[in-house]
Amino acid sequence: MSKRFSVVQAKEVPGRDKPVWLRHGIAFEGEKGISIKLESLPLPNKDGEVWLKLFVDDGNRQQQSTPAAKAAPSADLDDEIPF
């Protein structure tokens, strides 16, 4: 069985002591080397460089949720389409 890694990038956020880690994909280590599948494109840092890290993946993908995603829909929304 091949070893599996999370491909992540550190993003510096003003006002935070530690960076936020953005997951960009997965990597697999097999007999013929490492294969990487990116699910998003990493952006360069302030120096124009892209640094990615590989962390051993335990198989649990944690989905980040935003407060808007958790909020219940408003009762006074009009869902009728006007045409």
Would residue 11 count as lying in a domain?
yes
Cα end-to-end span (Å), the chain: 55
Would residue 66 count as lying in a domain?
no
Would residue 21 count as lying in a domain?
yes
Would residue 83 count as lying in a domain?
no
Q: Which residues contact 38 (CB under 8 A, 6 or more apart)?
A: 7, 24, 25
pLDDT at 67: 44
How far is the C-alpha of 56 from the C-alpha of 53, rounded, in Å? Answer: 10
Would residue 35 count as lying in a domain?
yes
Would residue 42 count as lying in a domain?
yes
**Is-contact 60 46, C-beta < 8 A?**
no
Reading the block at residue 12, the tokens are 């510096």
Cα Rg of the chain (Å, integer): 19
Domains of the chain: total: 1
- Tens of each residue's pLDDT in the chain, 83 residues: 678 999 999 998 899 999 999 999 999 999 899 999 999 999 998 899 999 999 998 776 554 433 444 455 555 666 677 66
Would residue 63 count as lying in a domain?
no
Q: Which domain holds residue 54?
A: 3-58
